[in-house]
Amino acid sequence: MPKTELSEEAARIKQYKNLARHEEHQFQDMRRRRNESSVEIRKQKGADLMMKRRNQLVDDDEEGELSDLDLKATPGAPGTVTTRLTNEEIIKILSNNPTLEQMRQCFEALRRSLSRSKNPPVDEVIKSGLVNALVEALKVEDDKVRFEAAWALTNVVSGTSEQTVAAVEAGATLPLIELTQSPNPGLAEQALWAVANIAGDSAQLRDYVIQCSGVEALMALVDRLDTLDVSCARTLAWAFSNMCRHKNPHAPLPVLERLSKGLAKLIAHSDKQVRQDACWAVSYLTDGPDEQITLAKTSGVLPHVLKFLSDSDAMVAPALRVLGNMSTGNDELTQCVVDLNTLDEIIPLSERSKSTTVVKECCWLISNIIAGTNSQIQAVIDAGIMPFIIEVLRSGDFKCQFEASWAVANLAQGGTAAQILTLLQDNAIPALCSALKQSNIDLLNNALETLYALLNTVATCCPERLDEVREAVEENDGLDHLERLQESESDKVCMNSLVYSFNSYSTVSSLLE
């Protein structure tokens, strides 16, 4: 190959439509959080990760030497230089009863133009009508022709939704799905790549892939996972993640159930990239109602997910998302997270990782568990996690503080008196008073509600400690912050501040004497 040509492995990393690694997407999409009374579900929205990949192996000025993938598809093919052809020349040749060799040359030339690293002429190819020719080429009984066509179509459907739809409307989906079962490994993988791009475009096209028996094709590949090379296994895991990704709407539950069984095999694969993409797929699968979350439990993936917490941050990210999603489910599903001994991993993980997103997700996970039963709250306390949460609330990154504020607020709202009093034992008042300096309404109210619950629990259960509480609030400028909040322009904060500062509760009133 010319020196300017990217290696296959390096190129694969760059060949993804809307390139956005999973870790860039970490924790950005919709979240759900329970509280004890199940009254409120908070959602945090962000940009959806659009996972499409381009198969890009040539630069604009390269001659057309056969790539490794060409050679994989056509064993023994010579590495000769391919003549460049314009779209018009390709159309002319294909319109005049071409020989097999002419078809090979035409579709390779077309594939190479669509594989350019800069400004691939996808729209020009669509407007010229050559997408229809590519679809017809998938049916030619020659692996070289079909491989070039599948590769070219992969890059068409790695573009915009409009470009993807153009290929789908030309009839590309069904023959591509059929080719995923080809005995030629290079051809099968390339077809799988294209199908994954189509499924990754939208929920509607994912459903069309399902309609065209795409799930059956994926499961057939999983059934012979041990025979697939690593490259194909990686593409397969990524295809599964695209099938599980879209939420508006989710894939039908029976489909997700079948996919979950395949994920149970993929997540145990020897290759780390396969395991990582499979874990992300499980995270998308569990980002939904309890019926979907339950699939992670019944499929047997959770023990593998837990092991990933001891791995690199790239593996920790999807694992934390899965466990966090599990904890947004009902109490039984949340208990699964506790029973895995997940809580024992939180402190070592937070100490080992330097990622603020990992800390944030740990706090999110803990806040959801604390939103559960009293025994689940106690499990968090017994694991020694609350001092960590309180320290994050005091000195962490804002997003981490935000999640930590929900953890302490959920404890204050749903815990027993003894559990609430552990906040005092863990020196939470300085952190709560410091949180009153923040401008975020939810964080402020979480801190106010927690202080309110803590003060009144002290008054009820151990009034002899009121002086201690008063001194702690005063020493940490809590009264000054409360007075400032009374001037807040937010009706919600002002109301809470006034209620908590000047209501009839003698405990709070005594602090303001």
Q: Identify the CATH number of the domain in which residue 169 sits.
A: 1.25.10.10
Predicted confidence at residue 480, as pLDDT, reads 78
Predicted confidence at residue 17, as pLDDT, reads 35
SS3 379: helix
Phi, psi dihedral angles at 116 (to 5 degrees): -65, 145
Predicted confidence at residue 494, as pLDDT, reads 54
Which residue, of 157, 183, 212, is where some domain finishes?
A: 212
Residue 418 lies in a domain: yes
Res 397 pLDDT > 90 = yes
Distances in whole angstroms, Cα of residue 110 to Cα of each of 76, 148, 186, 476 = 22, 8, 18, 70
Residue 481 lies in a domain: yes
Which residue, of 152, 187, 212, is where some domain finishes?
A: 212
Q: How confident is the model at residue 103 (pLDDT cuts 50, 70, 90)?
A: very high
Res 341 pLDDT > 60 = yes
Residue 337 lies in a domain: no
Task: Tell me which of 4-18, 285-299, 372-386, 461-475 is least confident.
Answer: 4-18
Mean pLDDT of 236-265: 97
* CA-based radius of gyration for the chain: 28
Q: How confident is the model at residue 221 (pLDDT cuts 50, 70, 90)?
A: very high
Q: How confident is the prediction for the chain on average, in pLDDT? A: 84
Residue 116, beta-bridge partner list: 58
Would you call 325 exposed, middle or buried from its count of C-beta atoms within 10 A (0-12, 13-18, 19+)? buried
Question: CA geometry: angle at 493 spanning 488 and 494, to 5°?
Answer: 55
What tokens were used for 461? 């259960």
Residue 306 lies in a domain: no
Percentage above 70 pLDDT, the chain: 80
Residue 23, beta-bridge partner list: none
Distances in whole angstroms, Cα of residue 398 to Cα of each of 107, 357, 474, 492 = 53, 11, 24, 21
Between 4 and 373, whose confidence is greater?
373
Distance CA 308, CA 321 (A): 11
Predicted confidence at residue 469, as pLDDT, reads 86
Residue 438 lies in a domain: yes
Res 165 pLDDT > 90 = yes
Res 209 pLDDT > 50 = yes
Residue 326 lies in a domain: no
Res 16 pLDDT > 80 = no
Which residue, of 151, 182, 212, is where some domain finishes?
A: 212
Predicted confidence at residue 474, as pLDDT, reads 86
Give the residue among 7, 2, 197, 190 at the shortest CA–CA distance from 111: 190
Predicted confidence at residue 268, as pLDDT, reads 98
SS3 140: coil
Domain containing residue 417: 359-513
User: Tens digit of pLDDT for each residue in 154-163?
Assistant: 999 999 999 9
Predicted confidence at residue 495, as pLDDT, reads 54
In terms of residues, how long is the chain?
A: 513
Task: Tell me which of 82-96, 234-248, 371-385 is least confident.
Answer: 82-96
Residue 127 lies in a domain: yes
Dihedral (CA of 288, 291, 294, 299) sign: negative
Number of domains in the chain: 2
Task: Tell me which of 12-26, 177-191, 212-226 is least confident.
Answer: 12-26
Between 479 and 348, whose confidence is greater?
348
Predicted confidence at residue 33, as pLDDT, reads 40
Mean pLDDT of 300-324: 95
Res 83 pLDDT > 90 = no
Residue 86 lies in a domain: yes
Dihedral (CA of 185, 188, 193, 196) sign: negative
Predicted confidence at residue 24, as pLDDT, reads 40
Res 61 pLDDT > 80 = no
Mean pLDDT of 216-238: 98
User: Tens digit of pLDDT for each residue in 425-478?
Assistant: 999 999 999 999 988 989 999 999 999 899 889 989 999 998 888 888 888 887
Distance CA 276, CA 312 (A): 11
Predicted confidence at residue 479, as pLDDT, reads 77
